[in-house]
Amino acid sequence: MHRRPLVRIVMIVSVALFASESRTMAQSPMAPTNGSKAAHTASLSLATPHYGNLAFCDSNLLSLQSGGSGNPNDGAKSHDYREISDFFNVREANVNTIPGEWEFELEGEWVTGAGGDDDFAFTPNIKYGLNDDMFIEFEVRPLVIGDGGDQGNGDTSLQLFYQIARETDTLPAFATWVEARFPTGEGSSGVDGELHLNLTKTLMPDVRGHLEGFVETANGGRGDEGDDRRAFQWGAGIGFDYQVDDLTICTLNYLNRSSEEYGISNQQILEIGGVREIAENQHLKLALDVGLDDEETPDFGVKILWSVEW
């Protein structure tokens, strides 16, 4: 006798709970379907959030949320890469890519002075993001127009970049990368190896400082360098960048490095440059290099680079 009213009550309660749940889901913001891609916006701003693997336990999720706020004063930083790559003489310590992302760069360079003819070269490379802190790069070394038989044209290199630590309130970002040159070009021999160390620290809301040092073992030679090529080379530099707006950054760098050949003094190079976002996932970079010492350093150089990410 009482079964039918009881069934009605159960049905009414079920419908009410379902309607309440539907309203809650409709009001909740939709979570990103791909955390990594959602984090890597086109803006050069420091406010770019960085999402990790959301499958971590609750304590790790809380730390990810606190670190992804984008506020330069909040503990561990987000993914802070702002396009200051190794195109510049002093690069930043933040990793270029996100996991599974490709980046293609095409660089052109014109150099005059150094007691010789003007040279024009272009350098293509492609990068692939291995994880949140590491990418691998394959590059064709500078292809010098007009000097194909004498400059090692066609040499290739392989680079592995690893960001060891992200920036915090008290500590800078820290990264290291290694690069090897292979004698696949005209007139080349031996294999070169380089080891770089980089630091980056936010000094003011729109200003960052960078330090870079490297050592290189140079074996054989590229084209006409021959026996005079210095077997052990090194360099150290300091740089600053200033974010003009969300699309534009200016940079100023100083590099002191050993010469390429024995019997020649160190090279001191002042670099002024900048980055401009020209479209979604595309950037244009420009740099002017000015030699500060004797005639062995190029008097003046202009570099330009276009990059695209997907």
Assign residue 250 the CATH number of its domain.
2.40.160.40
pTM, 2 dp: 0.74
Mean pLDDT over residues 218-242, rounded?
Answer: 83
pLDDT in tens, 28-65: 444 443 434 434 444 565 444 333 333 333 333 323 33
178 and 243 in a single domain? The answer is yes
In-domain check, residue 153: yes
Instruction: Tell me what the pLDDT averaged over the chain comes to.
Output: 77
Helix (H) or strand (E) holding 113: strand 102-113
178 and 305 in a single domain? The answer is yes
In-domain check, residue 236: yes
In-domain check, residue 278: yes
pLDDT number for residue 157: 95
CA dihedral 238, 243, 248, 250 (to 10 degrees): -30
* CA distances to 214, 258, 259, 298, 310 from 231, in Å: 14, 11, 11, 21, 39
116 and 204 in a single domain? The answer is yes
In-domain check, residue 48: no
In angstroms, the CA 222 to CA 187 distance is 7
22 and 151 in a single domain? The answer is no
172 and 274 in a single domain? The answer is yes
Give the model's confidence band at 229: pLDDT under 50 very low, under 70 low, under 90 confident, else very high. Answer: confident
158 and 268 in a single domain? The answer is yes
Minimum mean pLDDT among 104-113, 169-178, 246-255: which range? 104-113
Tokens linked to 31:
């979570």
Q: Please, what's the b/e burial string for 118-143 (b: 16 or more CB within 10 A of its CB; e: otherwise)?
A: ebbbebebebebbebbbbebebbbbb
Domain extent at residue 21: 3-34
Q: Give me the residue label for tokens 């200016």.
A: 250
In-domain check, residue 234: yes
105 and 208 in a single domain? The answer is yes
| Residue count of the chain | 310
In-domain check, residue 55: no
Tokens linked to 189:
């021999």
In angstroms, the CA 136 to CA 116 distance is 35
Provide CB contacts within 8 A for 79, sequence distance 6+. Answer: 39, 40, 48, 49, 50, 94, 95, 98, 132
User: Pairing mode, if any, of strands 298-309 and 102-113?
Assistant: antiparallel
Give the model's confidence band at 111: pLDDT under 50 very low, under 70 low, under 90 confident, else very high. Answer: confident
Q: What is the DSSP string of 40-94?
A: --S--STT------TTS-HHHHHHHHHHTS--TTSSS------S--TTSSS--SS
19 and 87 in a single domain? The answer is no
Report helix, strand or coil for 122. Answer: strand
18 and 112 in a single domain? The answer is no
In-domain check, residue 29: yes
In-domain check, residue 47: no
245 and 164 in a single domain? The answer is yes
144 and 276 in a single domain? The answer is yes
- The phi, psi pair for 65, rounded to 5°, reads -65, -40
pLDDT number for residue 293: 76
Higher pLDDT, 191 or 143: 191
Structural domain tally of the chain?
Answer: 2
28 and 157 in a single domain? The answer is no
In angstroms, the CA 83 to CA 43 distance is 10
Question: Is a pLDDT exceeding 50 seen at residue 274?
Answer: yes
